[in-house]
Amino acid sequence: MPAYNEQDCIEKVVYNWTDFLKKTFPNDNTTLIVINDGSKDNTKVLLDKLEKEVSNLTVINQKNGGHGNAVVNGYRKALELNSEYVFQTDSDDQFVSDDFKKLWEKREQSQFILGYREVRHDAGVRLFITKFLRGTISTVYGTFIMDSNIPFRLIKGSFLQKLMNQLPNPEPFAPNIFLSVMAKKSGQELFDIPITHKDRETGTVSIVKWNLWKVCIRSFKELLRFRLELNKKVRAIRA
């Protein structure tokens, strides 16, 4: 779970997910890993306090590197802990923890499972980016993924390690997109399971109108460049 300037909801979200883990997996060793991406508000103070109080919480504070970088570092920490399964979500309180069970039920059928925001409560800018990326992936890679960048995904740990080994370098702006493409191309059934997406009640979005085209152009260039490497990387994942 990456977190940036979420002081108004971070306590609620942490307790929600850590309690959920304890109730859902009472006999298993689970932890919620929160990557504080250089927050400028009181997010760090609150997380450091929570880590002392919540037994199944792991907090990592880093310099601001962006949402994608925080996600990647969360994955790396999960792999460092030899996690059998890794689930990624966001800290903005827009998801419902019970929806995790919809993905968990499919774990024997796929090593990489995505949720899909059937009704998405986000600004028009972010909806446009999602549609743009969906069209770009379909055009460039000839594959259709409903919500390739969704922060609601379940990945088998051993498969995530294979994907991370093939992640482009330098690190892409939205690494979850590349992980989704590689998983789909390597033969995994992503399912695109409909999940609940709530209105954001606190915090601020990281992508605003003035840099919309900058984000789209950068992502398009990265995806186009990655097309040349994809087949080799997919072969490595399958191997």
- Give the residue numbers spanning the domain of 191: 2-238
CA atoms within 13 A on the CB side of 68: 16
Work out how many domains the chain is built from and give that number.
1
Least Cα distance to 87 among 134, 39, 146, 25 occurs for 25
Query: Tell me, what's the pLDDT at 203?
Result: 59
| Confidence (pLDDT) at 126 | 65
The pLDDT value given to residue 66? 93
Q: Residue holding tokens 């915090």?
A: 203
Give the type of residue at 225.
Answer: R
Q: What is the pTM of this model?
A: 0.92
Task: Provide block-wise average pLDDT over 10 residues at a time, the chain (239 residues).
Answer: 97 98 98 98 98 98 96 98 98 96 98 90 66 86 92 98 96 94 97 92 58 78 93 96
Percent of the chain with pLDDT over 70: 92
Q: Average model confidence (pLDDT) for the chain?
A: 92
Nearest Cα neighbor of 69 from 95, 107, 47, 38 is: 38
Two tokens at 119? 């009704």
Which CATH number goes with the domain that contains 150?
A: 3.90.550.10
Answer for the pair 1, 32: CB distance below 8 angstroms, yes or no.
yes
For 118-140, give the secondary structure using H, E and C: CCCCCCHHHHHHHHHHHHHHHHH
**Looking up tokens 């024997």, which residue turns up?**
108
